[in-house]
Amino acid sequence: MISHWRTLLVNACLLAAAVLLLTGCASMMATAGSGLADNLSTAILNQDDPELVRDGAPSYLLMLDSFVTASPDNEAALSAAASLYAAYGVVFVDDPERARKLTERARSYGQRALCAADKRGCDIWELPFEDYVAALQKLNKKDAGALYIFGVSWIAYVKAHSEDWAALASLPQVQATMVRVQELDPQYERSNVEHFLAVLDTIRPPALGGDFEAGNTHYQRAIALSGGQDLSIKVDYARYYARTLYDRELHDRLLNEVLSADPVHEGYTLLNTLAQKEAQELLDSADDYC
| Full DSSP string of the chain | -HHHHHHHHHHHHHHHHHHHHGGGHHHHHHHHS-HHHHHHHHHHHT-S-HHHHHHHHHHHHHHHHHHHHH-TT-HHHHHHHHHHHHHHHHHT---HHHHHHHHHHHHHHHHHHHHHH-GGGTTGGGS-HHHHHHHHTT--GGGHHHHHHHHHHHHHHHHHTTT-HHHHTTHHHHHHHHHHHHHH-TTTTHHHHHHHHHHHHHSS-GGGT--HHHHHHHHHHHHHHTTT--THHHHHIIIIIITTTT-HHHHHHHHHHHHHS----TTTHHHHHHHHHHHHHHHHTGGGT-
**Same structural domain, 157 and 40:** yes
Residue 210: CATH number of its domain: 1.25.40.920
CB 186 within 8 A of CB 219: no
Residue 179 placed within a domain: no
- Mean pLDDT in the chain? 84
Residue 156 placed within a domain: yes
Q: What is the pTM of this model?
A: 0.82
In the prediction, which pLDDT does 66 show?
A: 87
CB 19 within 8 A of CB 45: no
**Same structural domain, 126 and 226:** no
Which of 44-48, 117-121, 185-189, 208-212 is least confident? 44-48
Backbone angles phi, psi at 59, to 5 degrees: -60, -35
**Same structural domain, 26 and 133:** yes
Residue 272 placed within a domain: yes
**Same structural domain, 240 and 148:** no
| pLDDT tens-digit map of 205-217 | 777 778 999 999 9
Residue 184 placed within a domain: no
Last residue of a domain, one of 165, 197, 232: 165
CB 201 within 8 A of CB 218: yes
In the prediction, which pLDDT does 10 show?
A: 37
**Same structural domain, 235 and 131:** no
**Same structural domain, 133 and 6:** yes
Q: How many whole angstroms separate alpha carbon 191 and alpha carbon 196?
A: 9
Residue 79 placed within a domain: yes
**Same structural domain, 195 and 145:** no
Q: How many whole angstroms separate alpha carbon 272 and alpha carbon 48?
A: 8
* pLDDT, mean of residues 133-144: 97
Task: Give the confidence band of 258 by pLDDT, cuts at 50, 70, 90.
Answer: very high
CB 205 within 8 A of CB 5: yes
Residue 174 placed within a domain: no
**Same structural domain, 160 and 196:** no
Backbone angles phi, psi at 241, to 5 degrees: -100, -60
Task: Give the confidence band of 30 by pLDDT, cuts at 50, 70, 90.
Answer: very low
Residue 182 placed within a domain: no
Q: Say whether pLDDT at 36 is over 50.
A: no
Q: Say whether pLDDT at 247 is over 80.
A: yes
Q: Pick from 257, 283, 249, 28: which is nearest to 152 by CA?
A: 28
**Same structural domain, 145 and 202:** no
Distances (CA, A) of 155 to 96, 112, 150, 287: 15, 16, 9, 30
* pLDDT, mean of residues 200-204: 84
**Same structural domain, 107 and 208:** no
**Same structural domain, 213 and 87:** no
* pLDDT, mean of residues 53-78: 85
**Same structural domain, 159 and 123:** yes
C-alpha torsion angle, residues 23, 28, 32, 37 (rounded to 10): 30
Residue 235 placed within a domain: yes
Q: How many domains does the chain have?
A: 2
Backbone angles phi, psi at 188, to 5 degrees: -75, 120
Which of 37-46, 67-76, 80-89, 260-269 is least confident? 37-46
Q: How many whole angstroms separate alpha carbon 88 and alpha carbon 63?
A: 14
In the prediction, which pLDDT does 179 show?
A: 97
Domain span holding position 146: 1-165
Q: How many whole angstroms separate alpha carbon 254 and alpha carbon 247?
A: 11
